[in-house]
Amino acid sequence: MSPELYVRANTFVSRLVAGETIVLPVAGNVGELACFYSFNGTGTTIWEALEQPRTLKDLCDLIDRKYDGDREKAEEDVALFVREICSLGLAKVVIDSENALGPGNDISASGNAAPE
């Protein structure tokens, strides 16, 4: 697994609606309604966790604890999801993990991501 850290971009807002997370890009404090994204429960779990920088291993551990399933399949699915949201600009790779975390932040995946 990649040791890179991933974090969601700060140019989006998200809300939980009817069990799915809706993500909208924001430009000039206004949501861009022509383009939005919707995540199911697993995607929502990953999205919430990416509020703080996480490794793919952190995310896989979180999914493994929350859902009963095949670890190898989960690793493939998490890596694919993270690549896709990065390619859409919803998340990004953090190059300098010490500066990205800031003082007092912890990247351990506790499974207790704060809801939107």
Predicted confidence at residue 91, as pLDDT, reads 95
pTM above 0.85, yes or no: no
Residue with token string 């896709």: 84
Rounded alpha-carbon distances, angstroms, from residue 47 to 24, 28, 38: 13, 23, 11
Question: Per CATH, which fold does 5-94 belong to?
Answer: Outer Surface Protein A; domain 3 (3.90.930)
What is the residue-level pLDDT of the chain in tens, covering all 116 positions?
557 999 999 888 899 998 899 998 886 555 455 678 999 999 999 999 999 999 999 999 999 999 888 889 999 999 999 999 999 899 999 875 454 444 444 433 333 333 33
Q: What is the residue type of 32?
A: E
Phi/psi for 65 (5° steps) reads: -70, -35
| Domain regions of the chain by residue span | 5-94
